[in-house]
Structure 1
């Protein structure tokens, strides 16, 4: 059996239910704003795609791991192995690129300069927001197209070494060193570019917010301090998302590297690697729901009148 630890069973069970519920609420909320146009914000398009990527990550990685925690061996067929691993990698890439797009969009909107290129950048972002969201998925689909080719079905050999097996007992094709290096370099290059853009956008937002705070304190004007309150709140929310994404991504990468370098990794290490990788898809929707004032207003507007005195 893969694992029969009650602690991990409970942890994965809670994580899955909390994550799926939060992302389902988030998708429903943003679908409502996009379809009705009520209190619509441009970032709703990006956040809706992020919630969809989170749902895909939880279903493609969380459910198989939850089944494995219950002690089910060899429950994935060859085709399902290919699909599960491919969807997980696609969801990871889509989450990374969508979070990067969210930070870049907010940084462009906060840009207060009056130069021509700054105005054109804002207009371009607003016009191309939908196609940019689609490009995030296309980029993730293309960069992970090799996964279905490399992943195979489970091998019923419990004594096989770790190099011939993968998580959930799906096997993988061993490539030569040159091919493996090329694929790893391509994936790392895309990840580092997106993470670099994410850090740059976050730094730009922090700098703009700091300058605005100094300006407001100097002017002591109520009329000037009210306008940016929504933008400042939205920017802080995005900074929380970006920071948590980078933190969980770094922890997951270190655990995954440790697993890859271990000939026979401990089961707790495998479980911890999956658990940390699913922390961002689980927690991010609740951060967005808690910090969006439209959610509480919507709940009050549609709350049954009988509950009020």
Structure 2
């Protein structure tokens, strides 16, 4: 086995080892919370949905890439490539938009009660299912090109000029214009929520700064949970901007540098950095979300029912 394939497999294995248990723990924590309390807050529902989508990203891309790199499974034929790339692109973009939805909802959560934005937050919470449905439809449609243009690396299409080598798969486009148009759509799909979530995070940071000045020298008795949730969202957005900023920079380079089109190295780096968000985001959630942290601690330690109830009541 070539050394570069071994290194590639090891990198994807590391993402799988961290990402699968991490996202599974977040999902389990919210399901236990739903079972114990019979309801979840809208922000919790968004985080749960984000963890499910990130789990799909890690499993469909990192786990399958690991199996293929170590030749443990034959997955990437024409049909396999179409399915994997389509599901990966859909879930990857959904992860981005759900992070934006979380940051936007959190910014609405800190507005004064009774304001127009507070009523809008209530409307969003009531129709959260429709928001998820819209995001799924939007990102599914925007990722549909993968079904038409993805092929196995062993097919004759790998000799095409207008294509992107993704190691085990090859994304072939009929013309230079089509690959540039598809690239522009993907960049726009990422940049728009990036700008919006950055704006939402700035609003949160301004609120936190003003609140810290107001309570400076005093001991705040309220708002602690909201502040912790806001800081966690800002941490997720910062992680996203850094990792997907690198991802999109590499994608633009792929579109503009001819040699990059024929090389799988750039594509591997892009997939690695975009999958890194799906791997690290549950770590941030577990470390910063008291509900998730508390449920996992109480469940892992197998505390008595009365003690678990006490633990939940302190979150």
Q: Which residue of 2 aligns with 1:46?
A: 46
Query: Which segment is superposed worse, 66-75 or 76-85?
Result: 66-75
Which of residues 285, 288, 291 is equivalent to 1:291? Answer: 288
> How do 1:53-68 residues align onto structure 2 when only pairs under 5 Å count?
53-68=53-68
Q: Which residue of 2 aligns with 1:120?
A: 119
Q: Which residue of 2 aligns with 1:91?
A: 91
Q: Which residue of 2 aligns with 1:70?
A: 70
Q: Which residue of 2 aligns with 1:175?
A: 174
1:160 shift after superposition: 4.0
Which of residues 263, 275, 279 is equivalent to 2:276? Answer: 279
**1:33 maps onto 2:53 in alignment:** no
Query: CA-to-partner distance for each residue in 1:206-242, whole Å, 9 max, x for gaps?
Result: 1111111112227x3x4xx221111000000000000
Name the TM-score, length of structure 2 as normaliser. 0.84
Query: CA-to-partner distance for each residue in 1:38-64, whole Å, 9 max, x for gaps?
Result: 684321110111111111111222123
Provide the C-alpha distance between the structure 1 equivalents of 2:126 and 2:89, rounded to a whole number of angstroms: 29
1:203 shift after superposition: 0.8
Question: What stretches of structure 2 of length at least 5 have no aligned partner?
Answer: 305-315
1:138 shift after superposition: 1.8
Q: Which residue of 1 aligns with 2:310?
A: none
Q: After TM superposition, what 4+ stretches of structure 1 lie above 6 angstroms from structure 2?
A: none
Q: Contact 1:16–1:63 (CA<8 Å) still a contact in 2?
A: yes
Provide the C-alpha distance between the structure 1 equivalents of 2:59 and 2:161, rounded to a whole number of angstroms: 25
Provide the C-alpha distance between the structure 1 equivalents of 2:112 and 2:6, rounded to a whole number of angstroms: 54
1:251 shift after superposition: 1.1
1:296 shift after superposition: 4.1
SS across alignment from 1:76: coil
**1:263 maps onto 2:259 in alignment:** yes
Q: Contact 1:2–1:69 (CA<8 Å) still a contact in 2?
A: no
Provide the C-alpha distance between the structure 2 equivalents of 1:162 and 1:178, rounded to a whole number of angstroms: 12
Name the TM-score, length of structure 1 as normaliser. 0.85
Q: Which residue of 1 aligns with 2:313?
A: none
Query: CA-to-partner distance for each residue in 1:100-124, whole Å, 9 max, x for gaps?
Result: 0000000001112643x22321221
Aligned pair in 2 of structure 1 residues 299, 73: CA closer, same or farther (>3 Å)? Answer: closer
Q: Across the two proteins, how many residue pairs are aligned to each other?
A: 301
Q: Contact 2:201–2:234 (CA<8 Å) still a contact in 1?
A: yes
SS across alignment from 2:144: coil
Provide the C-alpha distance between the structure 2 equivalents of 1:166 and 1:42, rounded to a whole number of angstroms: 40
Q: Which residue of 1 aligns with 2:241?
A: 246
Query: Which segment is superposed worse, 58-67 or 169-178?
Result: 169-178
Q: Which residue of 2 aligns with 1:231?
A: 226
What's the C-alpha RMSD, in Å, of the aligned pairs?
2.9
Provide the C-alpha distance between the structure 2 equivalents of 1:209 and 1:112, rounded to a whole number of angstroms: 14
Query: CA-to-partner distance for each residue in 1:153-182, whole Å, 9 max, x for gaps?
Result: 333569947745631342333223444444
SS across alignment from 2:27: helix
